[in-house]
Chains A and B, each alone.
Chain A
Amino acid sequence: MDVLKKVPVREQDPKVRATNFDEVCLGYNKEEAVEEAGRCLGCQNAQCVKACPVSIDIPGFIKEVKEGNFEEAGYVIGKSSALPAVCGRVCPQETQCEGKCIRGIKGEPVSIGKLERFVADYARQNGIKPKKPESTNGRKVAVIGSGPAGLTCAGDLAKMGYDVTIFEALHEPGGVLVYGIPEFRLPKDDVVKPEIENVRSLGVKIETNVVIGKSVTIDDLMEKEGFEAVFIGSGAGLPKFMGIPGETASGVFSANEYLTRSNLMKAFRDDYDTPIRPGKKVAVVGGGNVAMDAARTALRLGAEVYIVYRRSEEELPARVEEVHHAKEEGIIFNLLTNPTEILVDENGWVKGMKCIRMELGEPDESGRRSPKEIPGSEFVLDVDTVIMSLGTSPNPLISSTTAGLDTNKRKCIVAEEENGATSKPGVFAGGDAVTGAATVILAMGAGKTAAKGIDEYLKNK
């Protein structure tokens, strides 16, 4: 064994997986996990922990894996994270824990994400559940949204003894974990649901089908329903479109719609009623993780798929692993390309997408080199479906119905970084509702911070 290299992880063959919705990565078995854990140096001053938004004791849990104490390893992670099976799959470890791993200075870092996933899967498969706190303090806290931020905040507060209710707008709890991230990256029944059940087993109640700001307001929750504090983790919001001609044509979707139909509504399955239009030739506009998810979903539904992104490969915001997987499966990357118009047939359907080639100029305010059009380079991409994956703007449902809740110029809710407090007393916020679209783990970090903030606020109240 080469100690400088990660123990390779088994994956479904790209040709096979391009036609199914089963999980791509198969994870480590016991032997592989113990072997990989053996590569950890057990640093005293562990850099990986500092780079983890929820500060998991990484050398601590890996030491247990090394010794074969998988259940114990689960408890070590459980102290910091409510969703380890999720994080082991979707965290960008390469820029967080693994990016700071000392092992990685010479050779490859320890495969922390795959080890976390192994430990969480082991616990689930062996029926190990977190324990419900013995007593509660009876103080009610409301959590809005059951995505990563809300679940983490609720789980932490329940562990502290609070009586927590999560309000979810959709019919399933999980937020982006169920409507956004596809089955082949994050299995719903096998991984997400049991993790949500774990949060429930801490005593957290989840009320689905409640749209805060519509079904009930935050003021009503606090004044009429007895909640002493509220955490807003309502997520990212409304999909952005480009504003080019033809965008309301039939066959143009937001990535949110396309993914929600497939993931939440299970449109990819014949026994569910919700329709989806798979498309024969699909262009996905954008280069983030959501774009990769939409592209790989369309591919599995039988389409030929193009990613259309205005910058170059180096600037793709998606995780390297996702881009790699997408390419392996046969997604065609049209980089340095920008759509200028969607061509529409006489019945209002997409019949092509006019694009222009781009070149990179000077770095812009985001630090990325800004793309410029190359005059005269227009061409038509032959597609019948276009999926716009350009990010989101905040949903005004809560901010517009809650007096005293400040938003910034991007319409995101303003919250203190150190405790999640908003401008409204007793109301805290975190995750995409505050930062704009970001990652699962950053939202979890914000949920964790806010749980501490809420605890301090209520203790001093």
Chain B
Amino acid sequence: MYKILKACNLASNIFLMEVEAKRVAAACEPGQFVIVKMDERGERIPLTICDYNREAGTITIVVQTIGASTTRMQKLKAGDSFRDFVGPLGQPSEFVSEDIETLKKKKILFVGGGLGTAPVYPQVKWLHEHGIDADVIVGAKTKDLVILEDEMKAVAGNLYITTDDGSYQRKGMVTEVIKDLVENRGNKYDVCIAIGPMIMMKFVCLLTKELGIPTVVSMNPIMVDGTGMCGACRLIVGDEVKFACVDGPEFDGHLVDFDQAMKRQNLYKTDEGRAMLREQEGDTHHGNCGNCN
């Protein structure tokens, strides 16, 4: 069992948990992820690591409720436990193994969209701890969905926040901020790391390709085991089929086939939605009655 030491809501449907997981905390690096199975009936859910504390042996995860298991997970409190918590999985971000002096000369731009702000955080923090301050753009639908602002402020070089509805700081999409920084302010970036909804990563990549900025994205497709065994997370990158769990989750964003990936993402939408409704509404929702379809 993996004890939950801290649990709090960051927004109505986004929550943060600090979990005791000694082996994961000892081995993880920015860019990697974990798989959590809350109890016997739960799904194996891949989640990005938001923070880690090697001394305390803890991992911080940030979760958005999207399915039956995550909805049940949000009800857990500090003192409760997860049945299973495995990791770190996937490859660490490439810069972790880069020569630090070369890295220091680079100008890095991070883009975190919605929940994607969470996996961006440990990367920016790692760089900050190694004496590198990166620019960070955080995008969210609305003010209430901006997460980890204080934490990010403490480790980022410049932090730009934008909301789709203009309810907080800038108004507009993250791509507009990138454009503004590069075209109006003349900022030069050697690499962009964009993590967020697939549709956001797709449009960031279209733009950065135009602007000539190499871009890394982190893919979070459907997975089961997370160790390469099932192949559910396969993606088309360049002309090759890659498994996000063992080859990724980070890939060259200019080579990822996002349209394909988004279609696969919908694979279980109906089934998952049904399981969630069953969770929320008890036995009232059976599926296949024809009333809801």
A194 contacts partner chain B, Cβ-Cβ < 8 Å:
no
> Closest residue of chain A to B236, judged by CB?
A248
Are A348's CB and B263's CB within 8 A? yes
Are A214's CB and B27's CB within 8 A? yes
> Closest residue of chain B to A271, judged by CB?
B41
Interface majority SS on B: helix, strand, loop or mixed? mixed
Q: Contacts A169-B86, A247-B241, A273-B275 given; indicate if A239 touches B263 (C-beta within 8 A).
A: no
Contacts of B87 in A (CB 8 A): 211, 214-215
Are A248's CB and B241's CB within 8 A? yes
- Min CB distance A135 to B, Å, is 30
Q: How large is the interface on B (under 10, 10 to 19, 20 to 34, 35 or more residues)?
A: 35 or more
A404 contacts partner chain B, Cβ-Cβ < 8 Å:
no
Are B84's CB and A208's CB within 8 A? yes
B266 contacts partner chain A, Cβ-Cβ < 8 Å:
yes
Chain B residues 19 to 55 lying within 8 A of chain A, measured CB to CB, are 23-24, 26-27, 37, 41-44
Pick from B42, B68, B88: contact of A214, CB below 8 A.
Answer: B88
Are B232's CB and A248's CB within 8 A? no
Tell me, in angstroms, the Cα distance from A274 to B274 when the chains sit together: 11
- Min CB distance A245 to B, Å, is 11
Chain A residues 157 to 192 lying within 8 A of chain B, measured CB to CB, are 169-171, 179
Q: How large is the interface on A (under 10, 10 to 19, 20 to 34, 35 or more residues)?
A: 35 or more
Q: Contacts A273-B67, A397-B246 given; indicate if A250 touches B266 (C-beta within 8 A).
A: yes
Tell me, in angstroms, the Cα distance from A247 to B232 when the chains sit together: 11
- Min CB distance B270 to A, Å, is 9
A210 contacts partner chain B, Cβ-Cβ < 8 Å:
yes
B83 contacts partner chain A, Cβ-Cβ < 8 Å:
yes
Are A260's CB and B84's CB within 8 A? no
Contacts of B263 in A (CB 8 A): 249-250, 347-348
Tell me, in angstroms, the Cα distance from A383 to B108 when the chains sit together: 48
Are B231's CB and A241's CB within 8 A? yes
Q: Contacts A215-B27, A248-B234 given; indicate if A273 touches B84 (C-beta within 8 A).
A: no
Chain B residues 87 to 137 lying within 8 A of chain A, measured CB to CB, are 87-89
Contacts of B266 in A (CB 8 A): 250, 347-348
Contacts of B224 in A (CB 8 A): 257, 260-261, 265, 274
Contacts of A397 in B (CB 8 A): 227-228, 246
B289 contacts partner chain A, Cβ-Cβ < 8 Å:
no
Contacts of A273 in B (CB 8 A): 41-43, 67-69, 72, 275
A396 contacts partner chain B, Cβ-Cβ < 8 Å:
yes
Contacts of A261 in B (CB 8 A): 224
A279 contacts partner chain B, Cβ-Cβ < 8 Å:
no
Chain A residues with CB under 8 Å of chain B are: 169-171, 179, 208-211, 214-216, 237-239, 241, 247-251, 253-254, 256-257, 260-261, 265, 271-277, 347-348, 395-397
Chain B residues with CB under 8 Å of chain A are: 23-24, 26-27, 37, 41-44, 67-69, 72, 83-89, 224-225, 227-232, 234-236, 241, 243, 246, 260, 263-264, 266-268, 271-272, 275
Known: A214-B88, A254-B232; 11 extra A-B contacts, CB below 8 A, are A169-B227, A210-B23, A238-B246, A257-B232, A273-B43, A273-B72, A274-B43, A276-B271, A277-B267, A395-B227, A395-B228
